[in-house]
Amino acid sequence: MILKTIKRLKLAELTLLSLAIPGLYSVVHAQGNTFTGTVERVWEDGFRLNTGERTLRVDSWDVCGDNTMSHLSANDRVNVSGEFSGLEFDADSITDNQETPVCTVSKPRE
């Protein structure tokens, strides 16, 4: 009896998850894949962005290479455009509040 209850709960959980994911995708897609927020943490090829509504792990390698820490610091306000790849947001543009590019990389990703 307990196993049947667990199976029903798992099925209900999967059903709710399958309903939530397309809704989340629609919201992100409708926003044009651009987020504005505050940088919380920075590492060599990425950073964590807090938009006020959610926190994103941003892969900035295509824009900054391995030099993200030279261009961004915690508490910087930025605009990030790109697309989701798995659980990360791959940035193809990072600008400050004046729309000035924060960093650029000279060679394309291999």
Position 104 scores a pLDDT of: 74
Position 28 scores a pLDDT of: 43
Does the pLDDT of residue 59 top 60, yes or no?
yes
Condensed to tens digits (0 to 9), the pLDDT of residues 61-81 reads 999 999 999 999 999 999 999
Does the pLDDT of residue 15 top 90, yes or no?
no
Q: Using alpha carbons, select from 61, 59, 10, 51 the residue that is nearest to residue 27.
A: 51
Query: Is 0.75 surpassed by the pTM of this model?
Result: no
Position 10 scores a pLDDT of: 63
Does the pLDDT of residue 26 top 50, yes or no?
no
Q: Using alpha carbons, select from 46, 53, 64, 47 the residue that is nearest to residue 28.
A: 53
